A and B are shown apart, each in its own frame.
Chain A
Amino acid sequence: MNYGVVSQEQLEKMDEILTEKLIKIGVDCVVIIDMAGNIITAKDNDKNKYDIYSFAALAAGNFATVDAMAKLVGEQEFSLLFHKGTDCNIHFSKVDDELLLISMFGKEISLGYLRLNVAETIEAIRKLWA
């Protein structure tokens, strides 16, 4: 698969999926990045504005670090990462070998509910590349 260029149609569909499955349930911001730290697409609720370019660089580094740690303890990967804060939480999930989906959300959404929706989102996005 080549993510170097993603078609306008694919991006529009991806944005629709992210809005429908995640932004509408109350996620503040959702970003899809590649492992090099490039932003593929980003959606937010118009209230919370983050510096998503720096965020993407750090997130790719963070995920790559955890991945390297997984290998050190004999795991193939840790496919899920979650950071809990007082007001904001960050959930990372691998879409495939190249893409990561990152959701930033507040305390009004439970982690379980978010994970369910993230799983559905990833499935829908994978179908776009199929």
Chain B
Amino acid sequence: MSFINLKDKVIQVKIVYYGPGRGGKTTNLEYINRRFRKQIQSEMVSLKTHGDRTLFFDFLPFDMGQIKGFDLKIQLYTVPGQIKYNATRKLVLRGVDGIVFVADTQQQMRGKNIGSLNQLHQNLVGLKESIFRIPLVMQYNKIDLRKQGIPVLPTNILEHDLNSKLKVPSFEASALTGYNVPETLKKIISSTVMSIQRKLS
């Protein structure tokens, strides 16, 4: 749930990057952190294992300017992708306003993407939210691997697997090179802000 401070005129919005392990959620945030450094006043917080895997979450807050006289503070989080950390994923999802689902387009990740999306659905139900109502953007990441000859799932297969019922905006992307990372972010911010405006009016 976004928090709106009427005294200081600040809206805080929580956006979570969700998806299977090693899919590029942290890499998305790292790219945003480099690219939008000027709008980011604090350091990115990463709680990770010695092996550089996300243990709890990454956190990146930044200012998005004003909307109707309110300062918009976007708080980006990632969840740990590894299967065993579902309890932690549920904690990070608490109070979420918008979600980016980062799917890994490598062929062998097909089942893991579907499993992760199903679990997201379950986790949201547990929080009395619905995957069909919450602002959601699909990101098909690691598309750059295609150029290197690594088997990558075609977008129509990914759309069929992950987005045939949800029908949310989707982007092919490469978190490593930054391709469509800002576009994904802009889309989820605009969807989330519109959803908050609808709730308020």
Q: Which residues of A contact B200 (CB under 8 A)?
A: 5
CA distance A57 to B3 in the complex (A): 13
- The interface bits of chain A over 1-41 (1 if a CB of B lies within 8 angstroms of the residue's CB, else 0) are 00111111001100000000000000000000011111111
- Interface positions of B from 1 to 54, Cβ below 8 Å from A: 1-8, 12, 14, 41-43, 45, 47
Question: Would A11 and B7 count as touching, CB distance under 8 A?
Answer: yes
Question: Nearest A residue to B77 by beta-carbon distance?
Answer: A57
Question: Would A36 and B6 count as touching, CB distance under 8 A?
Answer: no
Q: Which residues of A contact B47 (CB under 8 A)?
A: 58, 61
Q: Which residues of A contact B61 (CB under 8 A)?
A: 53-54, 57
Q: Which residues of B contact A60 (CB under 8 A)?
A: 94
- Interface positions of A from 37 to 87, Cβ below 8 Å from B: 37-41, 51, 53-54, 57-58, 60-61, 64-65, 68
CA distance A64 to B61 in the complex (A): 20
CA distance A34 to B3 in the complex (A): 9
Question: Would A6 and B43 count as touching, CB distance under 8 A?
Answer: no
B contact residues, range: 20 to 34
Question: Would B42 and A36 count as touching, CB distance under 8 A?
Answer: no
CA distance A38 to B3 in the complex (A): 6
Q: Which of B1, B2, B91 contacts A64 (CB 8 A)?
A: B91
B150 contacts partner chain A, Cβ-Cβ < 8 Å? no
Question: Would A11 and B5 count as touching, CB distance under 8 A?
Answer: yes
B110 contacts partner chain A, Cβ-Cβ < 8 Å? no
Question: Nearest B residue to A63 by beta-carbon distance?
Answer: B91
Question: Would B94 and A57 count as touching, CB distance under 8 A?
Answer: no
B73 contacts partner chain A, Cβ-Cβ < 8 Å? yes
Question: Would A53 and B42 count as touching, CB distance under 8 A?
Answer: yes
Interfacial residues, chain A to chain B (CB-CB below 8 A): 3-8, 11-12, 34-41, 51, 53-54, 57-58, 60-61, 64-65, 68
Q: 6 tightest CB-CB pairs across the interface, nearest first?
A: A36-B95, A38-B3, A11-B7, A57-B59, A53-B61, A64-B91
What are 11 A-B contacts defined by CB distance under 8 Å? A6-B5, A7-B6, A38-B1, A38-B3, A38-B14, A51-B41, A51-B42, A51-B43, A53-B73, A54-B42, A57-B61
